[in-house]
Structure 1
């Protein structure tokens, strides 16, 4: 088996990108780029549409998106259901992503994260690792590996390997691997008391043992000794002691937290998509309700001269006429008028009216009149 030197530590700047894998980062960038692009397009549309999506008196929706991701609260909430649903699902999405990132980032800051240098034989020769081996292993181990001639081989005695590794195991600039069989690996672990990362790819195994003639007396004596050692529990104690050491140094805890993949964060993206779909349905529902109410509450406005009962203007309040032209027309006729609002469904005229006598008609007054919320029936 190959034992290799640990890789370099990740820098603090590299740790900022480690919590998520590449696919997750790309999807997050696409999500926020799409959100900012939609905001840019809506800002070029009419004011009513901006108020439906963003809410009233919201001046910087782009900064609100960035602030929401970092956990900054919203000063103004949208007044309609569509805008509120968009805000709620985006807050939930950012909560999942932000907490996942902060949790993994905290674990990475408290642990030593190293680069994975080698996993297979190909990694050893592609990264120019020096492979140290004992002469006894050359013929029956090295030559049994496909592509063994690509290794940069260096001779070293098995007895010198523990001291070599103990001296250099914290030197990430040294690209070195040690070839040792399992017995010597146990010996080196016990001697050096240091974690030895092992190549995950297996090396061909050499089966060693003793050969005796049939019915040999020495084989009978060896079997008796082994049985006595087994009955006394000595072998179990010996193997248990060494297995405990091996489990401590060969199979330690994971060196770092798991890097979150797109699958781990899929629930956040699914919630985002589902709530966006609900928000779109609510959006079209609000448009339908608005159109029905507009048709139902459409009124007729009659402006007449109070003195002569002369009708100056007669139109439907659908904001199709300019208030400036109406105001100038009234000012040329009289300074005393009355505004009469009549539902088209009613046959009689002047059933509902509001008098504006002894007041000067101006463009500002006409504009105020055209805002329905300022004049109740």
Structure 2
């Protein structure tokens, strides 16, 4: 084995623990002979066969754009909750329109007596304005109570989440991949170093023109450049970084000083690069072995630090849109109120049927009594006529 290769391969084998296959470094024919006693092993190869090193070149991106006040007004609820709310109000207005085409008794049963501005009452109830006149019937009151409880739940949670959104620095989701960075027209800042040029060669040709190389970003001052853009409150900025994990460690000091309010460090996707003589992929199966050798301990500590800060200071402080599941407790009260209203409705039907039966029974009893009285009167009249006839005969 040639002395020029011996120390290098021994060190690689000791840390990476993979099979040694010596090849040509400069793509020339190489003859390797290993002799042991009377045995001779010869090997010829023209290409590299083992990956022994990796290097990360990626993009460091800032947080997304801030939501405007108008956009924050629709963030408290997700799409399903907004659809449910619109469907409920549409059903209420459709019911009002349909009942206005029916007779007065049906309108009085649902709306109440002497209520002429039903649509305005729906809007005022939704915004929490008290009713000027309450309906008299219990069924109509329970319909109103159901709608008032529903509006109270929606209005309370909306105001609470909206207040939280207004007082927090809410940003739009940032790009997750390199493709999203260029598709969303991020301002990509590159540098004219060897790594920067290889990053440019690794991406699609139509993306290369979007990289701004007007200013050279040194390796150790890249995080200062990023902080400069964060302090200027510029969003949608992406900076090409060589070995971004090293920048990661330095950037945490800046985040800690800023109390994690303005600065967020994102590495959406690492890029492997290929040149004429070297291949730099990231091989996951070597990571445990690198831990055993102590190579990854420093980077692993940084990763744990980032996960701790992200879980305790960044993710938990973000307000999220409320879903139907989040409003479950309030809607349970609403469903109980609906069930109570249905029970009261059937009870009123039973009472109404009983009153009708009672009225019919009273009418029947009165008719029977009237017939009996009439019969008695007729009997008495016939008796008087008989007596009068007898008296006339006696007088004659």
Q: TM-score range by the shorter chain?
A: 0.5 to 0.7
Give the distance between the partners of 1:109 and 1:162, measured in 2 at CA. Answer: 30
The correspondence for 1:73, drawn from 98, 113, 130, is 130
Give CA deviations for 1:250-286 in whole Å, capped at 9, x if unaligned. 9743464222123322444455456445534543542
Q: Give distance in 1, aligned partners of 2:254 and 2:103.
A: 78
- The residue that corresponds to 2:384 in the other structure is none
Whether 1:346 aligns to 2:369 is yes
Could you tell which deviates more after superposition, 147-156 or 73-82? 147-156
Is 2:76 the partner of 1:19?
Answer: yes
Separation in structure 2 between the aligned mates of residue 191 and residue 49 of structure 1, nearest angstrom: 69
For 1:294, the equivalent position in structure 2 comes to 356
Q: For each residue in 1:2-33, what CA deviation from the matched residue of structure 2 results, as whole angstroms up to 9, or x when unmatched?
A: 32233333222222222112222222111101
- In terms of mean alpha carbon deviation, does 133-142 or 65-74 score higher? 133-142
CA offsets 1:114-153 (integer angstroms, 9 cap, x no match): 22242332320111223334534347767677x5873533
TM-score by length of 1: 0.61
In the alignment of these two chains, the number of paired residues is 286
Structure 2 match to 1:198? 265
Residue in 2 that maps onto 1:99: 156
Shifted more, 111-120 versus 197-206: the winner is 197-206
Query: For residues 40 and 267 of structure 1, do their structure 2 counterparts lie closer, same or farther at Cα, with a shift above 3 Å needed?
Result: farther
Where do 5+ consecutive residues of structure 2 fail to align? 1-57, 273-279, 283-292, 375-396
CA deviation profile, 1:353-372 (whole Å, cap 9, x unmatched) = xxxxxxxxxxxxxxxxxxxx
* The structure with more radius of gyration: 2
User: For residue 228 of structure 2, what is the aligned residue in structure 1?
Assistant: 167
- Please name the residue that 1:262 is paired with: 324
Structure-1 separation of matches of 2:170 and 2:135: 44
Question: Of 56, 62, 65, which aligns to 1:8?
Answer: 65
SS at match of 1:297: helix
| Residues 1-377 of structure 1 mapped to structure 2, 5 A cutoff | 1-134=58-191, 135-138=193-196, 150=207, 152-155=210-213, 156-171=217-232, 175-180=236-241, 181-190=244-253, 195-199=262-266, 201-203=268-270, 252-254=313-315, 256-269=318-331, 271-272=333-334, 275-276=337-338, 278-280=340-342, 282-298=344-360, 343-346=366-369, 348=371
Cα distance in 2 between the residues matched to 1:93 and 1:286: 23
Other structure's SS at 2:369 match: coil
- Tell me the TM-score normalized by structure 2: 0.59
**Aligned mates of 2:270, 2:194 — CA distance in 1:** 16
Gaps of 5+ in 1: 209-222, 227-234, 301-315, 317-340, 352-377
In 2, Cα distance between equivalents of 1:241 and 1:174: 25
CA distance in 1, matches of 2:107, 2:334: 21
Contact 2:60 2:267 in 1 (8 A): no
Counterpart CA distance in 1 for 2:368 and 2:268 is 86
Aligned counterparts of 2:72 and 2:332: Cα–Cα separation in 1: 27
Q: Note closer, same or farther for the CA distance 1:174–1:64 as it changes in structure 2 (3 Å cut).
A: closer
Deviations 1:285-316 (A, max 9, x none): 4234324422431499xxxxxxxxxxxxxxx8
Shift of residue 197 of structure 1? 2.6
Q: What is the CA distance between 1:99 and its match in structure 2? A: 0.8
Q: Structure 1's 40 and 268: CA in aligned 2 closer, same or farther, altered over 3 A?
A: farther
Contact 1:130/1:175, CA 8 A, preserved across alignment: yes
Correspondence for 1:306 = none
Question: Per-residue deviation at 1:35?
Answer: 0.6
Q: Select the structure with the greater relative contact order (CA < 8 A; seq sep ≥ 6).
A: 2
TM-aligned CA distance change 1:246 to 1:117, over 3 Å: closer
Structure that is richer in helix per residue: 2
Cα distance in 1 between the residues matched to 2:198 and 2:323 = 42
Q: Is the 8 A contact 2:81 2:323 kept in 1?
A: yes
1:50–1:349: structure 2 CA closer, same or farther, 3 Å change rule? farther
